[in-house]
Each structure stands twice: as structure tokens, then as C-alpha cells.
Amino acid sequence: MLRRNIRLRREYLYRKSLEGKERLFYEKKRKIKEALDEGKPIPTELRNEEAALRQEIDLEDDYTAGNSHIDDEYANATVRDPKILLTTSRDPSAPLVQFVKELKFVFPNAERMNRGSQVISEIIESCRAHEFTDVILVHEHRGVPDGLIISHLPFGPTAYFGLLNVTRHDIKDKKAMGTMPEAYPHLILDNFKTKLGERTANILKHLFPVPKPDTKRIVTFANREILKSLTGDKIGRLLVETLKHHIYEKPGGPKSVELKEIGPRFELRLYQEQWSRVKLRSNGLSDLT
């Protein structure tokens, strides 16, 4: 099993190394296609390659024209529902344990495991053997959850998030809040427009299976904060996204919709995102404790 994982990882890293060449090849085809569509002369630097590139363009269709699956770690994500393992740092406090219990309801098909004395490499190998698709590790600082790591199996990516303003929510009447339903939720991803935002949205959305059309449960990830330069121009950088958890009801008919927040609510600040590396033994998490 260990040798097989090493071989598969090396094959993946080799395909990953080809990504830059594929992107350069795609840009050349795009420039030639734009010149042909607009009736402009072919760029001087591409005239020697024009015949071969035009032949490639003629063989493409709408689906293959701009798609490359070399770095698509989620190419098979629609084949089966996600299976998630939830765990914590060692010796978790009571608030962290309670927060992980609530996360288990947020992410369908998630299983919670007590960390104990297990190291990350053992957990990752066990998850691979039992066909888990993702591992979520929650950290804390002095009893307050402050870090969330999402790692997609078997080869990544691994995203490191900071947790802010962690609370179930501000409703005082806990009875009015009710319990969390276990139906697969509809997912709303708002304002993930940059390349980093699209990458982050891709990581988050594949934690949820496809819901039924009539489900009344909604999970929202809303990216609201955009960094601005000194001149006031917007810079495409993802800073904070907020998770909110609702159910909706229609007490007055189809045109009357009421949202009811059932928690938890928290903010995620993306700190780092990486894919598998040769020196990391277990999906980018072997150096974590």
C-alpha cells in the first residue's frame, strides 16, 4: 500500500508539472483564434507554429477548448458523495468538542473521531484505506476554535483557514432556534470571482453532496471583504468568507419566504492553500501536530 501511494503521488506530481506547458499552449491557441475572429494578422512570434496550432483549434469543441484536467483533483467528485472525517487537535477543550459536534451536522456524511494520541500521518493513511474523500482538522487557542484545515484525499489540495467570530448565533431563545436538520443543504457561494476565490469555492462546495430540489436547508458562504490599493482600485484577493446556516419556510404561500438561522455561524480567513508536495508524507499534513 505504501509503495502504491508513493507511485500514485509521483504520477500526480508529474502531471502537475506539465500544467505550465499546457497553459502556455492554450494561450498561443487563444491568440491565434482571436486574430482569426477579428481579421487581424497572426502575431509574429506565432507564425512558425500557426499551421500546427490551427489544426489543434479545428479539432476542438466547446467543451475541450478551454478545459485542462491535469490539475483537476475533483474530476471524480460527482461519482460519489463526499465522505468526511472530522477531528481536532490533541486534548480538545469542551467548547472545541461542542463546535466539532455542530460541524458534523453542517457537513453531511461527516464522521467525528476523537484524536487521542494518533498522529496525522496515521489518520490520513487510515482515511485513504476507508475511502474518505476529505479530512477536516480543527484547532483552538485557549478554548476558542481558531483554525480549520481542509485536506482533500488522496493528493490534495490542502487549505488552511483561520476561524473568527465562532458562535452558533445570537438568538437568545434556544427553543426557537430548534434543532439542525440532516437533509442535504442547498449551497450558496457569493462573490467568489477571483482565481483564488474560484479555487477556494471549489474546495468548499465539494464538501457537500447534491441536495434534493425540495430541501429547505441552506448553507451560505459569502465573501464580503475585498482588499483595496492606495489608489482605491479593487485587488482580486480573497480575505474573509462567512458561513451561515438557515432553513426557510413559506407560511403564506410560494411568495412568502421566511429565513430561520439555525447555526453555527463563523468566518473563514484563508491563510494558505497548497497541493501535494514530494517532501510531505501525508497529503500536506504530516508536519502538523
The reported pLDDT for the residue numbered 231 is 42
The reported pLDDT for the residue numbered 184 is 92
The reported pLDDT for the residue numbered 230 is 42
| Per-residue pLDDT tens digits for 215-247 | 889 999 998 755 444 444 443 444 567 888 888
Q: Does domain 84-271 have CATH number 3.75.10.10?
A: no
CA-CA distance, 227 to 249, in Å (whole number)? 36
For Cα atoms 225, 230, 235, give the angle at the middle one, nearest 5 degrees: 40
Which residues of the chain have a pLDDT value below 70? Answer: 1-2, 15-16, 18-20, 59-72, 168-178, 225-240, 275-289
The reported pLDDT for the residue numbered 87 is 94
User: Could you state, in order of their start, the residue ranges of all structural domains in the chain?
Assistant: 1-59, 84-271
| Per-residue pLDDT tens digits for 164-174 | 888 765 455 55
The reported pLDDT for the residue numbered 129 is 87
Percentages (nearest 5) of helix, strand, coil residues in the chain? 30, 25, 40
Grid cell in block for residue 159? 487549505
CA-CA distance, 32 to 60, in Å (whole number)? 14
pTM of the model: 0.71
Q: Is 264 helix (H, G, I), strand (E, B) or coil?
A: coil
The reported pLDDT for the residue numbered 1 is 62
Q: How far is CA 92 from CA 122, 151, 234, in A?
A: 19, 20, 40
Grid cell in block for residue 152? 482533500
